[in-house]
Amino acid sequence: MRLEKKATVVSTSVATLLVIIKMTVGVLSGSIAVLASAIDSFLDLTVSLFNYFALHNAEKDPDDKFHFGRGKLEPLAAVIEGVVISLSALFILYEALSKIVHQQKMTNMQDSLIVMVISIIITACLVLFLNYVAKKTNNMVIKADALHYKTDLYTNGAILISLATIHFTDIYIIDPLLGILIAIYMIYSAYPIIKEGVLMLLDVALDEEDIEKIKNVLKNNSSISNFHYLQTRESGSHIFISVHLVFDMDISLYDAHKISDEIEEQIAKLFTDDKKCHILIHMDPYDDSHTQGHK
């Protein structure tokens, strides 16, 4: 098993353990903050499962059924993940507001404190492991997973501080207020995940900076007289680029093909090693950009 997949198995196992512990104590104590942390750990579990699924399937080679591969699994998983996060945040928000209205108090405070301390220690160890794997493999999925769990450390730390404050002051409204803040933060974090996933599913073009880099490669090549119909899209870790290159009419097919291969290599070098570029070049003997229905 690849080291990246081992990392997702470890993170999934850790998230499962944290969900069980936090959910049990959260329900027994009535702490909205601990319950929110439990739901966040459940989301971590979901993310880790998605990451394993994406790593296992998205990198499969194209076949007779999927001619362009399964790269769209990654943005699809991102959209589902973002929706789940948003729905969970709304549930936390409802529970927090309900607790404020009914003025419910917390119980088993000591158990809640112990759980959050254990959670912070376990999460810190997981972050160290994921950072090690990310540096060794340079895998973007593992880097994102490490960053996600690192964010959890800050959230769990805030919850621990709030529980300690409640323990010494008996100001119970701190708990639902913190739950509201966590819910707002979760929705705020989910929005860019959903947006990026949807745009990728809709085959959004690469950003302007990358497109300009591609255009500069084409403009600086003296072997072609012009180019048009430059189209780009991204699917997970795969980048698809197509373009029409205009050659002199007297150039041989061999020379045009050789030049096209050189341009493909130059464009592919614009992107990092974790991105796989699929470049399709159409060789034109003259500029036909005004005779077809392209833009």
Which residues are within 8 A (CB) of 185 and not within 5 positions of it... i.e. 6 or more apart? 155
What does the pLDDT look like over 144-176, one tens digit per residue?
677 667 767 767 777 777 778 777 777 777 777
Q: How many domains does the chain have?
A: 2
Q: Are 240 and 232 in contact (CB under 8 A)?
A: yes
- 213 and 196 share one domain: no
- Domain with 247 in it: 208-284
If pLDDT is split at 50, 70 and 90, which confidence band does 94 have?
confident
Q: Are 116 and 34 in contact (CB under 8 A)?
A: yes
- Does some domain include residue 71? yes
- 73 and 214 share one domain: no
What does the pLDDT look like over 8-66, one tens digit per residue?
788 888 888 888 887 877 777 666 667 777 777 777 777 777 777 776 776 677 778 87
Model pLDDT, residue 139: 64
Domain C-terminal end among 201, 232, 260: 201
CA 111-115-116 angle, 5° bins: 120
